[in-house]
Amino acid sequence: MSRILHAKIAPFKTEFLDVGDGHKLYIEQAGNEKGIPVIYLHGGPGGGSSENHRRYFDPEKYHYISFDQRGCGRSIPTSALTGNNTDNLVDDIERIRNHLNISQWLMVGGSWGTTLALLYGIRYPQCVLAFILRGVFLATSKEYDWLYRPQGAQAFFPDYYQEFLEPLDNKDRTDPIKGYGKIFNSGNELAISAACKAWYLWELRLSSIEHSHVGLSQVEDFHQACCMAKISHHFFNHKSFITDNYILENINKITNIPAIVIHGRYDMVCQVQCAFELVENWKNASLQILPQAGHSGFETQTIDAMCKAADVMADFLRDS
């Protein structure tokens, strides 16, 4: 029997944490304050957290924590790039752990959130109970090329890719990340607005095989589109501020920690081969490939897998 999301719950506490560089992070806690601490890391970069992320977890079993990463969601200032890099995001997670006086926690993330979870674990393995990772992104050159250069995901979505390229001059279309950077730094607000929407729409269209009717109405929230476009471009233009293949080269630091890895067979944002390669190098990780799922965290099979993984992990952690 397929699982559905747990009932909606409200946070029992929300606050802002000053982490320096002018950034204040929005943090929320929900569920059972005496339960298993779990931090959920949202995607993007720049995606922001969702109230539905709380609903993967049984509120009786889990002390749920999430935050909006620098510059996105309810964190302030919006779309700020100063001090917004991977090292600082990993340090922000550790600041939150210390701020909440948590000794160890379960790391859960989707997409870019898996990248941060893995990088945090590599830096602070002693603080991690276990991992649940959905839609693995290892932040490698081949993944950027798949998403943004010709002959990647473009081969499956040529019509949508053409719309993704429309804001760019012809000479910039072989290197869209560079081309979009020119627009974002141009000072032309109309061009920036159009580029943000086109960037965001491209990823949305790739994200789900169940919810295929994605159009401009989904990107009219300019705050969301701007955060996703500007921040993800900023990170990807800098190769996520890590060396290529950094995660796999350092995976030995966390292979003794248990992990459940979940990935849609038809994920067109993050390719399943990356999840497969990760688990091949991780003795305590298991991979569940969902046969009829894409990248979205809220498709039927993905919801089922995430809720079940959270239940399995709760039983494991309580017994260990």
Residues 6+ apart with CB under 8 A from 95: 17, 19
Question: Counting beta carbons within 10 angstroms of the beta carbon of residue 32, is it exposed (0 to 12), middle (13 to 18) or buried (19 or more)?
Answer: middle
Among residues 49, 111, 208, 232, which one is catalytic?
Answer: 111
Among residues 6, 63, 234, 295, which one is catalytic?
Answer: 295
Does the annotation count 111 as an active-site position? yes
Tokens of 167: 């804001």
**What whole-number distance in Å separates Cα of residue 162 and Cα of residue 154?**
9
Instruction: For the beta carbon of residue 277, count every other beta carbon within 10 angstroms.
Output: 16
CA dihedral for 141, 269, 46, 205, sign (positive or negative): positive
Tokens of 69: 């990463």
Phi-psi region of 40 (alpha: psi -120 to 50; beta: other; left: phi over 0): beta
Does the annotation count 295 as an active-site position? yes
Tokens of 102: 């948590």
DSSP collapsed to 3 states, 271-292: CHHHHHHHHHCCCCEEEEEECC
CA dihedral for 90, 92, 96, 101, sign (positive or negative): positive
User: Is the Cβ–Cβ distance between 66 and 54 less than 8 Å?
Assistant: yes
Among residues 68, 92, 267, 304, which one is catalytic?
Answer: 267
**What whole-number distance in Å separates Cα of residue 105 and Cα of residue 127?**
7
Catalytic site residues? Answer: 111, 267, 295
